[in-house]
Amino acid sequence: MTDSPFVPSRRTLLGGSLAAVAAAGLDSLSRTALAQAAGTAPAAPAAKPLPAFAAWKDHSVMIVHGANALETRRGALGSSIITPADRLYVRNNLPAPDAAILADRDAWMVQVEGVKHPRALSVKELKGMGLDTVAMVLQCSGNGRGMFPSKPSGSPWQVGAAGCVLWSGVPVRAVAEALGGPLAGLKYMTGTGGEKLPEGIDPRTLVVERSVPLEAMGDALLAWEMNGAPISLAHGGPLRLIVPGYTGVNNIKYIKRLAFTAEQSEAAIQQHGYRMTAPGQKSAATDPSVWEMGVKSWINSPLPDHGTLAAGPCVVQGVAFGGLHAVKRVEVSVDDGKTWQEARLVGPDLGRYAWRQFALPVKLPAGSHTLLSRAEDSKGNRQPEMRVENAHGYGNTSWRDHGVKVMVA
Amino acid sequence: MTDSPFVPSRRTLLGGSLAAVAAAGLDSLSRTALAQAAGTAPAAPAAKPLPAFAAWKDHSVMIVHGANALETRRGALGSSIITPADRLYVRNNLPAPDAAILADRDAWMVQVEGVKHPRALSVKELKGMGLDTVAMVLQCSGNGRGMFPSKPSGSPWQVGAAGCVLWSGVPVRAVAEALGGPLAGLKYMTGTGGEKLPEGIDPRTLVVERSVPLEAMGDALLAWEMNGAPISLAHGGPLRLIVPGYTGVNNIKYIKRLAFTAEQSEAAIQQHGYRMTAPGQKSAATDPSVWEMGVKSWINSPLPDHGTLAAGPCVVQGVAFGGLHAVKRVEVSVDDGKTWQEARLVGPDLGRYAWRQFALPVKLPAGSHTLLSRAEDSKGNRQPEMRVENAHGYGNTSWRDHGVKVMVA
């Protein structure tokens, strides 16, 4: 089992083309899993440099789980709301396409279907159709998986498979309207990634193709810019589908097809992947899909890796977000949950899909302290104390799991 | 005359220590000016690589005016509000300190004076005193100087000596309060930069020390973070004074002293530098100081360097800001000012000191078109048609100057 949580069939695993895919850049966890499934011993773990397509990241703040799985260190998420590109996590389900696709960004084509007048559009055409910018939390479905005692397979993310970024592009609804609007009765918006698939196997077993409910179209973008620069290959350039409030996998990189559909995609990643499956069970299309994010917060400072802290004034700070809904408030406990104080939300409000920074000045006496945070969104949804146990370690929003223990001298 | 517009005395110019300063990194324009003033011919212009302290910038989008003057290309300012660090302009008035000052950021000290209990504070202490984040336009006082037909000396900036960035740090008012508050009767907030000065000359001739009116303290920060990462050396780390709404020079890098004062600094850069001086005159302390920014906007797309455009739909886009006041609206003309249409403000509003992106969908027929934008702030201040002529080319907000001419096939 891999971080792309569909389970390849035995036949697929043993196909020669899959070895080529693995060699081309599946992350080391995937390679290990594949080797185990194929009955061969995994290679000894190598040192973990940044993969070539993300070599421009700040290595000093990244945890390299594998060639397609990079996490931001908890202490490096900063307090300025936006996560800079060179600190943002990376998760690809397949090796990225060749960088040559960025040579002429405006020439990239996306086929739009399920509308009255379906056709292919270039990025250049899209740029003439409208412009909007959205700030949103981009978060891997499995962020927080590393806190599950059940140790589900997949990258053991702590908090850093998440960031808050700005995307600019054309609203999907403007594109749909320009093509006559979605056909009646369609229920999903389905995006297909432009990754190269190995020959000779059913594309549905590997293609990165995800469906989200049609209402997610409302604030969705076809984006060509992230944080003020053309989108890098690592983050899905030249064109990415942005679905604010939905987990990372639903934000299709290198999008080559956008379809309004009656049914969800037949791809394995949709049918069996990214489902909230009971512990010990195999995923099925009847399990709930991992779509919207839940309300969540965590503390980024102080942290145990700051060493023993000096007694005295200290600002407890972190991030909080509500998925589809704005964060309304955040409470902090410095006594392992016995008492709670409301923190202040700091800095500009970038809209309901962005995270807020929170801060609470405290004085910590000498000793050991467990610091906790819990958020509530504008609809009254509260971050839960306990995680929802599930087979693949998705959706961990537990405030208990996200606590930190610090020592004060 | 140089971009740091105080005029060195003949004695200073001929002093050996100045040659050392020049060799250590004054920009090429300054070097030229110094050579001219000293009666020697400037060296032939060399190729312009990025200077070492900004070698991490994206060279492909930067115009290198000199070792301490880098401009962002107009087409590279993006449409996502925030300017990424690797695209942000750089302007230093003196060579930056040695990068060793970043080795232990928390140990950097700033002396706070003009308060009831003056003392030196470390960055570590400041971090325990409070946290706020502000988004603001950082803009060189001389941005737009390159559009003055009078060709004032100094870097011939077009629009790209500006960006919108996020700063995190402690509010200056919290620091002042913690030290008993500013003494009665003081009128200015004066910051002193930590650049190394050459020996043997009066420090006032070179020190980067600026005073702003005391009321600017209201939203000022002592900041350690920019755009979610510790402030780089090029942008004033480990600690920078941030004075939202004021031009770049007032935001003191490497700040080592923050004083509330009865008078403005005696430094040349305050007394004679950065003053709105009548054309052909020498600057005097009686000329108005370059402090708050005025309302301004410009178009970033389409641009002439996009080549001849295809006829058809096009989104005219750019940025607008109001200095101390939020932008209320932006109008765009595609017929050289004959008619105007209101543009839409795009994306999240990051507060009154940030810029807004604006966008207007248009259809341009074949031919040549002069595109213009003009902004109005929340107080009803309007971007003027004409620049204010002045000796050093400061404060160019002319909408006429900022127009662009594009060809449509």
Q: Which CATH number belongs to the domain containing residue A93 in this structure? A: 3.90.420.10
Mean pLDDT of A286-306: 95
| Closest residue, chain A, to B134 (C-alpha) | A347
Percentage above 70 pLDDT, chain B: 89
Is the domain of A168 the same as that of A42?
A: yes
Is the domain of A155 the same as that of A201?
A: yes
Residue B280 lies in a domain: no
Residue A394 lies in a domain: yes
What does the pLDDT read at residue A47?
A: 58
Asked if A227 and A168 count as a contact pair (C-beta separation under 8 A), the reply is no
Mean pLDDT of B323-332: 97
Determine whether the interchain pair A361/B315 forms a contact, defined as Cβ–Cβ distance below 8 Å: no
Torsion of CA A110, A113, A115, A116, to 10 degrees: 100
The shortest C-alpha distance from A166 to chain B (Å) reads: 6
What does the pLDDT read at residue A17?
A: 37
The shortest C-alpha distance from B347 to chain A (Å) reads: 4
Asked if A324 and A352 count as a contact pair (C-beta separation under 8 A), the reply is yes
> Does the structure show a pLDDT above 70 at A40?
no
> Does the structure show a pLDDT above 80 at A1?
no
Is the domain of B301 the same as that of B238?
A: no
Mean pLDDT of A368-377: 98
Choice among A92-101, A299-308, B145-154 with the minimum mean pLDDT: A299-308
Alpha carbon distances (Å) from A255 to A37, A246, A251, A360, A370: 30, 16, 9, 41, 43
Residues B205 and B88: their CA atoms lie apart, in Å, by 28
Residue B333 lies in a domain: yes
More confidently predicted of B336 and A15: B336
Residue B282 lies in a domain: no
What does the pLDDT read at residue A250?
A: 98
> Does the structure show a pLDDT above 90 at A324?
yes
ipTM of the complex: 0.88
Quote the tokens at residue A9. 């069939």
Residue A277 lies in a domain: no
What does the pLDDT read at residue A176?
A: 98
Quote the tokens at residue B88. 């942000």
Domain boundary among A213, A238, A271: A271
> Does the structure show a pLDDT above 70 at A137?
yes
Is the domain of B134 the same as that of B74?
A: yes
The shortest C-alpha distance from B168 to chain A (Å) reads: 6
| Closest residue, chain A, to B128 (C-alpha) | A314
Residue B2 lies in a domain: no
Residues B219 and B248: their CA atoms lie apart, in Å, by 15
Mean pLDDT of B73-90: 97
Percentage above 90 pLDDT, chain A: 86
> Does the structure show a pLDDT above 80 at A50?
yes
| Closest residue, chain B, to A351 (C-alpha) | B348
Mean pLDDT of B302-315: 88
> Does the structure show a pLDDT above 50 at B17?
no
Mean pLDDT of A224-235: 98
Determine whether the interchain pair A80/B348 forms a contact, defined as Cβ–Cβ distance below 8 Å: no
Q: Give the pLDDT band of residue A305 (cuts 50, 70, 90).
A: confident
Quote the tokens at residue A242. 């942005």
What does the pLDDT read at residue A306?
A: 74
Q: Give the pLDDT band of residue B135 (cuts 50, 70, 90).
A: very high
Q: Please give the mean pLDDT across all residues of chain B.
A: 90
More confidently predicted of B186 and B307: B186
Q: How many CA atoms lie within 13 A of A61 on its CB side?
A: 22
Asked if B48 and B137 count as a contact pair (C-beta separation under 8 A), the reply is no
Residue A287 lies in a domain: no
Is the domain of A349 the same as that of A262?
A: no
Is the domain of A222 the same as that of A309?
A: no
What does the pLDDT read at residue B96?
A: 97
Residue type, A240: R
- A342: closest CA among A384, A313, A375? A375
Residue burial A85-117, b: 16+ Cβ < 10 Å; e: rest: bbbbbbbbbbbbbeeebbeebeebbbebbbbee
What does the pLDDT read at residue B29?
A: 35
Residue A105 lies in a domain: yes
Is the domain of A115 the same as that of A202?
A: yes
Quote the tokens at residue B287. 């000329």
Phi, psi of A167 (to 5 degrees): -120, 140
Expressed as residue numbers, the domain containing A202 is 10-271
Q: What angle do CA B274, B275, B276 make, to 5 degrees?
A: 130
For residue A86, list chain B residues with Cβ-Cβ distance below 8 A.
86, 229
DSSP string, A141-200: TTTTGGG-TT--SS----S-SEEEEEEEEEEHHHHHHHTT-BPTT--EEEEEE-PPPPTT
* CATH (domain of B397): 2.60.40.650
Is the domain of B168 the same as that of B223?
A: yes
> Does the structure show a pLDDT above 60 at B35?
no
> Does the structure show a pLDDT above 80 at A23?
no
- The strand pairing partners of B226, in sequence order, are B167, B229
**Chain A to chain B Cβ contacts (< 8 Å):** 138
What does the pLDDT read at residue A312?
A: 87
Mean pLDDT of B38-56: 70
Residues A382 and A398: their CA atoms lie apart, in Å, by 10
Mean pLDDT of A122-131: 96
Percentage above 70 pLDDT, chain A: 89
Is the domain of B108 the same as that of B145?
A: yes
As for how many domains chain A has, the answer is 2
SS3 A381: coil
What does the pLDDT read at residue B306?
A: 74
What does the pLDDT read at residue B47?
A: 57
What does the pLDDT read at residue B305?
A: 80
Mean pLDDT of A352-356: 98
Residues B227 and A79: their CA atoms lie apart, in Å, by 9
Q: Write the DSSP symbol of residue B164.
A: E
What does the pLDDT read at residue B312?
A: 87
Per-residue pLDDT of B109-121, as tens digits, reads 999 999 999 999 9
Is the domain of B354 the same as that of B206?
A: no
Secondary structure element (H or E) that encloses residue A35, with its range = helix A28-37
Total residues belonging to chain B: 409
For residue A354, list chain B residues with Cβ-Cβ distance below 8 A.
348
Per-residue pLDDT of B193-246, as tens digits, reads 999 999 999 999 999 999 999 999 999 999 999 999 999 999 999 999 999 999
Mean pLDDT of B69-84: 97
Asked if B327 and B362 count as a contact pair (C-beta separation under 8 A), the reply is no
Determine whether the interchain pair B128/A361 forms a contact, defined as Cβ–Cβ distance below 8 Å: yes
DSSP string, A357-375: EEEEEEEEPSEEEEEEEEE
Sign of the torsion formed by the C-alpha atoms of B222, B227, B233 and B234: negative
Is the domain of A233 the same as that of A332?
A: no
Point out the residue among A82, A317, A351 whose CB comes nearest to the CB of B82.
A82
The shortest C-alpha distance from B85 to chain A (Å) reads: 8
> Does the structure show a pLDDT above 50 at B264?
yes
Is the domain of A177 the same as that of A263?
A: yes
Q: Please give the mean pLDDT across all residues of chain A.
A: 90
What does the pLDDT read at residue B1?
A: 31
